[in-house]
Amino acid sequence: MTQHELQIGRKPIKERTKQPADALPHALNHWIRLEAISILHQGEFSAGEVAEMIGEDVRYVTGHIRDLYEAGCIEFVGYKLIGSRMRPVFRAVVLPIITDDVYRTMSRDERYDTAGAMTQGFLAETLSSYRNRKMDGDEPPCLMWDAPPLDAEGRQKLRERLIEIWEDEVLAIQGEAANRIAESGEEPLPTVVGLFSFERGRPEESKVYYRPEGKEKLSSN
């Protein structure tokens, strides 16, 4: 990667090798790209540092990181001295907190691109956890989803409730944990939390959706 080819931040959408709808599945359909994105959620790293973390040849990792950058899936931060050479450094896409008022000022393309980045981040962490056998350990994860049919009022109430849960409960739990960790010295475990509600992509093909009576509840009994 040469200096004149890289631009600080995310590749402008018109210059990307893939548009958002194609970039998202492409970013996650190879284990090196998947793990690279997950690592870049942690901070700013060069391809060589990522390669060392996953135990892979730096040449292969460099190609995948370049691919992610050109597709707009990660951001270029700048250069840092590693060993005796200046190396390009990357990070995950920085996601702003988008309020309702800000959302309404965004174009549909801007909303689409931002939603793609949010989805990429959540799915990368989900797939990385699954791939690395973190979802089948001794501590049970919380894995639930459904697609209930809701009217406009129901959708609004659900959205408002999820925001309340995030602001009043998830962040409160995080603060309480931080206080306990400061006292106990316990090593914290990064835990992925996602709250999503959105219209199903293909609702017109089935009015049955996911009926509760068709579900099986597994128990230890």
Fold of 1-137: Arc Repressor Mutant, subunit A (1.10.10)
Q: Kindly report, residue by residue over 57-100, the tens digit of the pLDDT.
A: 999 999 999 999 999 999 999 999 888 889 999 999 988 778 88
C-alpha–C-alpha distance, residues 140 and 173, integer Å: 18
How confident is the prediction for the chain on average, in pLDDT?
Answer: 88
How confident is the model over 116-143, as a mean pLDDT? 92
Domain map (residue ranges) of the chain: 1-137, 144-221
Q: Answer whether residue 213 shows pLDDT above 70.
A: no
Q: Which of 28-32, 76-80, 95-99, 207-211 has the lowest mean pLDDT?
A: 207-211
Residues 186/178, Cβ–Cβ less than 8 Å = no
Span 191-207, mean pLDDT? 78
Q: What is the pLDDT of residues 92-101, one digit of tens each?
A: 998 877 888 8
Buried b (16+ CB within 10 A) or exposed e, 83-121: eeeebbbbbbbeeeebeeeeeeeeeeeeeebbebbebbb
Q: Is the pLDDT of residue 221 over 60?
A: no
Q: pTM score, two decimals?
A: 0.83
Contacts of 11 (CB under 8 A, 6+ apart): 69, 70, 71, 72
